[in-house]
A and B are shown apart, each in its own frame.
Chain A
Amino acid sequence: MTDAVIKGGRNMEHRKVHRKESEASSFWERNRKSGGYLLKKRIREVIYKIIRVFMLFGMCFLILQPILNKISVSFMEEQDLYKSTVIAVPEHFTTENYRLAAELMNYGGTLLNTIVISCTIALLQIAVCTLVGYGFARFDFPLKKMWFACVLLVIIVPPQTISTSLYLHFRYFDILGIIGAIRGEGLNLRGSKIPYYLMSAGCMGLKNGLYIYMIRQFFRNIPKELEEAAYVDGCGILSTFVRIMLPDATPILTSCFLFSFVWEWTDSFYARMFMGNTSLLATQLAAIGDRVNKYVVNVVGNASGASVGYTSCMISTGILMVITPLLILYLFAQKGFVESISSSGIKM
């Protein structure tokens, strides 16, 4: 049977070559018949393709260059940074920068913390947003438009606007004055993780309005007949949701989870506000510049502190160490990130 396939393949190839030849021989003839139009068109196409390759290469390089630059800098010794002859390839290759950055950021423990917190928060956010998005997409209830306008409001209010009062809100946390009545003053929840979990459970975390919007958009496109068939067959509202709708929505939920995870990973605004006591990669990275300076003053014994070049080199190394896990994730889940956005059909 394989023989037959190979034979068939050869036949096909042969035929293809044959056809190509006949095409090539008739190209000039056809060109002559069309009065030179065909040749012009072909030339125009080729030139366009060449320009396109250059442009795409240039733009890709533009995006990748900072990362490549950081990689080369992170392997350099301090003296290499100031040599004008050293541009991309380090003369004195070293992994010392990585060791020091790991020490300054307490990399092992911080990485574990970040993974756990990003994962749990992303899961919580997506679970709640799925419920809400489903509610908006498949049910009719009074004031639905108003509540959806509130979702849009959540998307466009910058969290910085309410950061002042959230700050105070959790500094003197209270529910209807109950805790205040017992303890005399509100609970100080700042510096603990609880407020952020509470906010995530209430869909008010980072970019949660966007997830609700995307998930709603997806559920709206599921045909009504599917839902009705489930009701006719005796499914309740909840079991329809769990057994019919959720399995369909796996791609969009995965991509929302990935987004949430990644943005949680790099977020410093909420991290700085709520997680003062828990070391996360984002906050550690923000502090690495100062720490290098202190390290040089105290440990190395150079009173003038770290040099400009060395600090930036350490920051580059730190950034690389923070984004490496994300890069690996992106390599494996690239489709999950890109395809589901295009399939969700975002429209206004």
Chain B
Amino acid sequence: MERQKKLTGLQKRKAIAGYLFILPFIVGFLVFMIQPLAQSLYMSFCDVQVGAGSFSPQFRGLFNYVRAFTVDPEFTRLLSEEISRMFINSLAIMVFSFFVALILNQKFRGRALVRAVFFLPVILSSGVIIGVETDNALMASIEAAVGETAASGVSVTGAIEEILKTAGIGTRAFETVFEIVDSIYDVAIASGIQIIIFLSGLQTISTSMYEAADIEGCTKWESLWKITLPMVSSLFLVNWIYTIVDFCMRSDNEVIEKISEEITVQINYGFASAMSWVYFGVVIAIIGITSLIISKGVYYYD
């Protein structure tokens, strides 16, 4: 009886200590996350007038949402474009990073160097740097000019593209593939973290498993599908979520650009909040549905 009481005492003390440890998070979460979230949700239903010293929201119901979808000429187009771009890019990033991780998991000379190079974009292509390169209208015009000259030249991929396109079978699918091929640079610089996460997963698979499979007559290709993929399948989920979230936060995202323009230039807080809530809702829905689908296929080895 005495002992029982003491144990609960320790447990209680540990529970209090645990709460003390995460206290900064709780406070920060309530003040800087929940409150602004609630406020921006409220504002999205309002027409916000910013005056001197204070701001006065007037309740307007679904006005802003209706405006975003029906009145605003750009929003629905940008949203659907960004979402489809996100899907295609994220898929490409997953495949690319898994492929690179498979290669980097093998032993060869200069592996550390190659790994360092692949990780370099995580450091260099974050935040403002990627924004400066894509935001710039001047750069866009240069790109257009360069693109024209490149089109007049002859390139192997260009020729293949032409042939496949004129063949007329599955033109849409080919176009998507070529879009990915064209944006291989974007894919490569966005997959640094994913490569490392896959690599860490690959390194935890014990070699005895491959040896056993080899003795049983498994080819490399078969053991890739039967051993490697199931063993790292939980990392696919992590990487998928990370990729989508990373994509949402990039500063060259056009929806985000429109929202921040609405805030800083038009000073229309209500409309901006409504747009960001729509965007946020769509992203959460996508993350939820896709992770549900992926988690069905995840295999846990215990």
Enumerate chain A interface residues (CB-CB to B < 8 A).
49, 52, 55-56, 59-60, 62-64, 66-67, 128, 131-132, 134-136, 138-142, 144, 147, 150-151, 153-169, 171-172, 184-185, 198-199, 201-204, 212, 237-238, 262-263, 265-269, 271, 282-283, 285-286, 288-289, 308-309, 311-312, 315, 318-319, 322-323, 326-327, 330, 334, 337-338, 341-348
Contacts and interface: CB of A to CB of B under 8 A. Distances in A.
Given A157-B33, A164-B276, A165-B273, A141 B128 contact: no
Given A150-B29, A164-B263, A269-B251, 15 more contacts: A60-B117, A63-B120, A131-B21, A132-B24, A140-B15, A141-B19, A160-B276, A164-B273, A167-B263, A263-B126, A268-B251, A286-B135, A337-B122, A347-B234, A347-B235
Interface stretch (B73-81, B170-178, B185-193, B205-213): B185-193
B269 A164 contact: yes
B200 A161 contact: no
A168 B55 contact: yes
B289 to A, nearest CB: 14
Contacts of B136: 289, 311-312, 315
Of the listed residues B15, B120, B135, B204, the one surrounded by the most CB atoms of chain A closer than 10 A to its CB is B120
A169 B55 CA distance: 11
A347 B238 contact: yes
A166 B36 contact: yes
A202 B36 CA distance: 14
Interface of B: 11, 13-22, 24-29, 31-33, 35-37, 39-40, 43, 53-55, 100, 103, 106, 108, 114-124, 126-129, 131-133, 135-136, 138-139, 141-142, 184-185, 188-189, 193, 196-197, 199-200, 203-204, 234-235, 237-238, 241, 245, 248-249, 251, 256, 259-260, 263, 269, 272-273, 276-277, 279-280, 283-284, 287, 298
Contacts of B29: 150, 154, 202-204
A341 B25 contact: no
Contact of B241 (A132, A156, A199, A343): A156
Which of B15, B25, B126, B256: most chain A CB closer than 10 A? B25
16 contacts: A132-B21, A144-B18, A147-B26, A158-B249, A158-B276, A158-B283, A160-B259, A161-B279, A161-B280, A168-B269, A169-B32, A203-B24, A203-B29, A330-B123, A334-B119, A347-B234
A158 B244 CA distance: 11
A140 B18 contact: yes
A172 B248 contact: no
Contacts of A66: 185
A55 B53 CA distance: 61
A249 B214 CA distance: 38
Contacts of B127: 263, 265-269, 282
A66 B184 CA distance: 13
Contact of B28 (A56, A171, A203, A266): A203
Contacts of B245: 155-156, 158
A158 B276 CA distance: 9
A344 B29 CA distance: 25
A131 B24 contact: yes
Contacts of A172: 53-55
A318 B139 CA distance: 14
Contacts of A269: 127, 251
B22 A136 contact: yes
B36 A267 contact: no
Contacts of B33: 150, 153-154, 157, 162, 204
